[in-house]
């Protein structure tokens, strides 16, 4: 990760390969006027020639001809909107991407107008810069693939007090923890399925847990068999790779646990490769199915951050890790399998495997003394069809919990949209021979998946389901989001958790 520091150095005297100046307008005031003077009016000329109006995302670059310390200047428009965290995250990310071809090793970002609220501004800039400079290069040979950018300095207004400066240093520290956790999630998603097996995912969980001080237990096929987690097992038996149930715990220290205290469970779908099983996917649908553990990656990243940010509530993370393959022992269509909570499920499609893994993992989580569950999963193509690739679907059995999660997503800028658990669709999950089937009808696939999951959560337990099939993976870079695994969900889960008491 690049180094980010704060400074009150004058932008004119800042030694950096590129000076980025963020501005809401193109009027010759303050530093814009100072720069124009130093550049002998060259800046005004260029504003006119390139019709630079500082619209949101508009950019203008020029050589500073030795008139200020930095050899290059990049102006980035912020538009007229009020300042908020996502706006600065986008500005920093697009600056990082814009200067890429100049191969700078150092960058400074300054403000043409003092931001109204420095906290969210610094948070946005740092997060945007860290996330936009992420690349998954582990398997690119040669050393030409790393960006040379090493240092970013965020230039604070000269009058910033020592107290404010201290607060901002703390913000930067918190944002770094968050960015690292998002990057952890991206790395897990981007890792190919031949290296990131269920066993490897469990190894990485153990390693991470030891590093940040989480308790961690890993279970394999013998425990799953002993406990009757047969739905989870059914998915795994078609693979030579063993399944793993990963359980990590954050227990707040030094506080006596209140009676009725909230205990949150984050449950992740960790299908490290989804071939579809015997209901095999065509190649075009199978491409990208190494990312079918993005829900697991999101809860993994979230609890990594939570361990360091230390919320007041207790948080558990459960990951059901398995492959969905077509080996000789693979589960079949029409198999009837008894789940951990005692319900019988008729398998009608082996490609609807995520809900089977989650059903048992959530029922198990519910038995570990937790008071609410959030599950995160790349569960259905139908959710992608319904909401598009940038938005997650949310379903819940408790509206105030859903509202809190939606509110968290508004502040982090992750796009999440609630879908209704329509009761009229419940009969489509009926089976002739078992308690229920693992797929519903042709329509409303994201919702029937949600209705299926609901059957495995005790009714009195608050539960919210996030279907991240779309936003967990990006086909192209967009602002702070980079192509490939996005780490979607980490920041909203962390934000939600930090607000709980
Ligand atoms: N992992 C897929 C869902 C998915 C699709 C995630 C595209 C990301 C991108 C899931 O296991 C699956 O195959 N779901 C089926 C369900 C169907 C058989 C009811 C689907 O969406 O087609
Ligand atoms: Zn599937
Ligand atoms: Zn899947």
Selected catalytic residue, list 72, 89, 355, 454:
355
pLDDT reading at 257 higher than 80: no
State pLDDT tens for residues 79-131.
Answer: 988 789 999 999 999 999 999 999 999 999 999 999 999 999 999 999 999 99
Task: Please check whether residue 89 is in contact with residue 66, taking contact to mean a CB–CB distance below 8 angstroms.
Answer: no
**What is the average per-residue pLDDT within 309-327?**
98
Q: Are residues 487 and 393 in the same domain?
A: yes
Q: Containing domain of residue 184, as a range?
A: 179-499
Predicted local confidence at residue 255, as pLDDT: 66
d(CA 324, CA 275) in angstroms, rounded, equals 6
Please indicate whether residue 439, judged by its CB atom, sits closer than 6 Å to ligand 1. Answer: yes
State both tokens at 156.
């604070």
Count of domains for the chain: 2
Q: Are residues 152 and 188 in the same domain?
A: no
Please indicate whether residue 129, judged by its CB atom, sits closer than 6 Å to ligand 1. Answer: no
d(CA 186, CA 488) in angstroms, rounded, equals 9
State pLDDT tens for residues 129-163.
Answer: 999 999 999 999 877 778 899 999 999 999 999 99
Using the 3D structure, point to which of 160, 192, 220 is the last residue of a domain.
160
Please tell me the least confidently modeled range out of 202-216, 244-258, 289-303, 431-445: 244-258
For residue 356, tell me if it sits in a domain. Answer: yes
* Closest residue by Cα to residue 372 from 499, 463, 287, 272: 463
| Ligand showing the shortest atom-to-Cα distance for residue 271 | 3
Which ligand 1 atom is nearest residue 438's CA? 19
What CATH number does residue 43 fall under?
A: 3.40.220.10
476 catalytic? Reply is: no
Q: pLDDT band at 259, cuts 50/70/90?
A: confident
Please give the span between the terminal C-alpha atoms of the chain, in angstroms, as a whole number: 32
For residue 174, tell me if it sits in a domain. Answer: no
pLDDT reading at 182 higher than 70: yes
Please tell me the least confidently modeled range out of 145-149, 269-273, 399-403: 145-149
pTM for this one? 0.97
For residue 167, tell me if it sits in a domain. Answer: no
d(CA 340, CA 227) in angstroms, rounded, equals 7
Name residue, tokens 């008491």: 501
Q: Are residues 156 and 185 in the same domain?
A: no
Mention every residue, 6+ apart, whose C-beta is less than 8 A from residue 106: 15, 16, 17, 18, 149, 150, 151, 152, 153
**What is the average per-residue pLDDT within 450-473?**
98
Please indicate whether residue 395, judged by its CB atom, sits closer than 6 Å to ligand 1. Answer: no
State pLDDT tens for residues 323-344.
Answer: 999 999 999 999 999 999 999 9
Q: Are residues 255 and 317 in the same domain?
A: yes
Q: Are residues 322 and 187 in the same domain?
A: yes
Q: Whole-number mean pLDDT of the chain?
A: 97
Q: Are residues 145 and 55 in the same domain?
A: yes
Please indicate whether residue 285, judged by its CB atom, sits closer than 6 Å to ligand 1. Answer: no
């Amino acid at each position: 990760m690049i180094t980010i520091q704060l400074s009150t150095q004058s932008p004119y005297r800042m030694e950096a390969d590129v000076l980025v100046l963020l501005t809401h307008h193109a009027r010759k005031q303050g530093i814009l006027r100072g720069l124009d003077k130093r550049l002998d009016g060259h800046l005004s000329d260029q504003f006119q020639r390139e019709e630079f109006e500082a619209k949101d995302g508009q950019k203008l670059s020029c050589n500073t001809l030795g008139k200020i310390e930095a050899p290059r200047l990049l102006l980035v428009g912020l538009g007229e909107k009020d300042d908020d965290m996502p706006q600065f995250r986008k500005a920093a990310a697009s600056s990082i991407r814009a200067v890429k071809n100049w191969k700078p090793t150092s960058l400074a970002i300054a403000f043409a107008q003092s931001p109204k609220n420095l906290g969210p501004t610094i948070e946005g800039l740092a997060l945007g810069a860290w996330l936009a400079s992420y690349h998954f290069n582990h398997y690119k040979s040669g050393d030409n693939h790393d960006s040379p950018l090493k240092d970013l300095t965020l230039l604070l207004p000269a009058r910033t007090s020592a107290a404010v400066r201290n607060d901002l240093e703390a913000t930067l520290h918190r944002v770094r923890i968050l960015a690292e956790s998002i990057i952890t999630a991206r790395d897990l998603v981007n890792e190919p399925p031949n290296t990131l097996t269920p066993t490897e995912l469990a190894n990485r969980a153990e390693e991470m847990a030891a590093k940040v001080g989480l308790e961690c237990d890993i279970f394999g096929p013998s425990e799953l068999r002993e406990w009757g987690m047969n739905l989870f097992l059914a998915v795994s038996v078609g693979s030579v790779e063993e399944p793993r149930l990963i359980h990590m715990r954050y227990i707040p220290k030094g506080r006596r646990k209140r009676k009725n205290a909230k205990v949150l469970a984050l449950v992740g779908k960790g299908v490290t490769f989804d071939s579809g099983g015997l209901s095999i996917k065509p190649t075009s649908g199978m491409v990208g199915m190494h990312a079918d553990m993005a829900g697991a990656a999101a809860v993994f990243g979230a609890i990594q951050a939570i361990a360091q940010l230390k919320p007041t509530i207790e948080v558990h993370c459960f990951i059901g890790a398995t492959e969905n393959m077509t080996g000789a022992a693979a589960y079949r269509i029409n198999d009837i399998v008894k789940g951990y909570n005692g319900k019988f499920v008729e398998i009608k499609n082996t490609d609807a495997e995520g809900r089977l893994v989650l059903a048992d993992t959530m029922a198990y989580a519910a038995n570990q003394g937790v008071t609410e569950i959030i599950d995160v999963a790349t569960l259905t193509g139908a959710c992608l069809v319904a909401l598009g690739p940038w938005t997650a679907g949310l379903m819940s059995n408790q509206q105030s919990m859903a509202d809190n999660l939606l509110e968290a997503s508004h502040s982090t800028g992750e796009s999440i949209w609630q879908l209704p658990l329509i009761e009229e669709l419940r009969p489509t999950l009926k089976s002739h021979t078992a308690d229920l089937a693992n797929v519903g009808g042709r329509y409303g696939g994201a919702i029937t998946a949600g209705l299926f999951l609901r059957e495995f959560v005790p009714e009195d337990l608050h539960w919210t389901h996030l279907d991240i099939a779309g936003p967990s993976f990006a086909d192209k870079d967009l602002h702070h989001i980079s192509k490939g695994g996005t780490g979607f969900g980490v920041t909203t889960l962390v934000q939600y958790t930090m607000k709980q008491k």
